[in-house]
Structure 1
Amino acid sequence: MGETRVVQTEQIRQPERYEPGFTVSKEKLNYALNEALKKIDGNLKTFRTMFPSHASEHNVYFPMENNDGWNEGFWSGILWLAYELTGKETYKETALAQIPTYTKRITEKLGVNHHDMGFLFTPSCVAAYKLTGNVEAKNTALLAAKHLVSRYCEKGKFIQAWGNVGEEDSYRLIIDCMLNIPLLYWAAEVTGDASYDEMAFHHFNTTADNIIRSNGSTYHTFYFDKETGAPKCGATHQGFSDDSTWSRGQAWGIYGLMLTHMYKKNRKAEELFVPVANYYLNRLPDDYVAYWDLYFTEGSEPRDSSSAAIAVCGLLEAAEVLNDESQRATYLSAANHIMNSLIDNYLTKDIPESNGLLLHATYSKPHNGGVDECNIWGDYFYMEALARMITKNKIKAYW
């Protein structure tokens, strides 16, 4: 375990598209931040202890009365990012007012029969603890980490995504969990309990060894034999086909590899990042914002701006830490090109009734859910990317 598989790296096919040196101007970044803050300010009253829907309807989020989905943490995370970028107490106060809803959720086990504890509790409770020292937030996040490891499957060495643990039809992982396991790395650091780190890193290795194809593309999900833990097959859930590459999944891979590298300084994560990132960049259309599946590189299929925002965060992290200087420069340029397009072409600023940040995201095309809408995780990662770029990676968010 832990040995790097042979994964072929595509060279960047049109290197002129990512020529080093391109940057989004400071003025444009500040403009984008101000536009985002206008929307966030307009949401503060409605979404104080209620949360935005996972995706908009006609570019408008509606309030959800209960904290019981998989994505509430992203709204809390947006508030913490706004607080860090402005210092305004209103954002902090609103985010802290939400902590009891997370405590109630994890203590009463409300809607937690899945692996998305990282998405829920890292941008909300871990962030609150890191920024304010809030003890309730810390303890709540640790309860979430404890719950997450209860989904660890020793046969196969992975965290089961959905369903009751051990169910044959649910004995699988999904690539999204690369963003959930940092909660466990954090828990290990805070508690000194190495088992959190060990299970997270086992899950990382199982994911890397199975969900990344030999050409650097990824499956959305991968199944294992319940009795032996042996790998069975890759498949999709939200992509175009089992053999295609769901663009948001590829973006989860881009960022997830860098997050494990951030904690573990792991050579395998660094080496796999390059083929995964290059595969993604080689399939971006003219405006640098991916279609919902990388099978599509032109035409009228829906885009997924959330995929773009997630990828930017991973590319910015890579531009800080990779050993190869030319790779760092290429990925920094790519991040800036993608972000520049998001700011120029995907903001809701000209739609006054919209309370989202990014247009043209896709939740799940196969399920006809949240197609060509805003979605809250896209808005969060867009804000995180803005924070990273404005502060030159001094704000690295909360993973």
Structure 2
Amino acid sequence: MSNPFEHLRDIRDLRVVDGGAPIDASPLVMERAHNVALMGEAPETPARPRDIEPVNAMHVLLMVVRGVYRHLAPEWRLTDTNADKELGAVIERAEMANPLLRLAWQHLGPEPAAAKELAGALESFRVRNALLVKPNAMVKLLESDIMLDTLWSRDPLVLYHPVLFAQCMTEPVDGQWQVANCDLISHRERAKQSLLWWLPQYGPLAAFVEQQFGLFVDEDTAQRYCYRFNEPAVLRVHSKVHKNSFATAKEAHERHSFEALRELEIDGCDYAPNADGTGLQKTGRKTKYVLVMVVRLHDDQQRGRILVRRYLPSGVFIDEPDHFQFHNRNWRLSDASGNYLLYYHICGDTSSYSAEAVREAPRSDPDSDVAAERRRVENVFLRYNPAGPN
């Protein structure tokens, strides 16, 4: 089966600069060049689209895929230039089955011809896969079967470790453990389970993630199972807040602000059996994650648009090109109402990052101060909760 978008320019084919001689660069240099393009480019919105909703949804979908690619190792995103030829062929087949993954590697820009070609390719993809692109169906679009099968099922994006330990309930916990058959769970189902659905009422996000792992009992099979964290390169979470989620604007900021959610430390219950197969020893190792992308889903307060923000692991806000319409400065994660997709990147050490550089969004007014920002948050909160803040 041929790829209908094979002719499009591919960032991974970058071999020359400004028409000059071919680049003789190391894989690391090439990877950095790819990442610059992935994070520095954005699609152009047609001047007079017949229907803005499909354009909005498909453009945000494209930006999410590019943001995820940014945080995958080369062996999980390259095709013909992959050092692992077998894995490269697997990824190429995934791109043939899901051309959006190939489209996400296209050079993007404001040129009318490029924008028109991209718009046609995205529409072809949507029709080909019978995808609904209503604003309130964005999660279904991102988590559609084709996305689960071709992107989210890749090993570094799966939440649960593929090796599962099992033990008969009649055995003591420190008794014999066996490796269970993970093939009973399809790749699609493992990918689907990797999106966590969290509400602030469940408690802190890091603790909620940790609750997904450890020892669980299945009465139907009379087995104990040990589920372990796979330490995915990208951890994805759905979050929803409404006017009754928090009592005050202060509580909203403490529990659901950019500052509160930017870093997570996850104890993934990384157990290992003893040499003789008995008992499970917990390593106690924690894994650090940083927020690198937020999608604000359909919201009447944002004219019904789906909006995206991306960040460097250092917390620096990435200011998207002016021609990309689906981002703005006028919302915060601490708003009293909102529906979000949060994307975290595994990050070994954040101690070298400058706290002064961390910011949720550029300030509209460079002269605004902390007091003005606090007043803005409280005014937004009052709009949804007239009884607060206290």
TM-score, length basis structure 2 = 0.29
Which is bigger in relative contact order (C-alpha 8 A, separation at least 6)?
1
Flag the structure with higher strand content. 2
Q: Which has the higher helix share?
A: 1
Q: Return the index of the structure with the highest Cα Rg.
A: 2
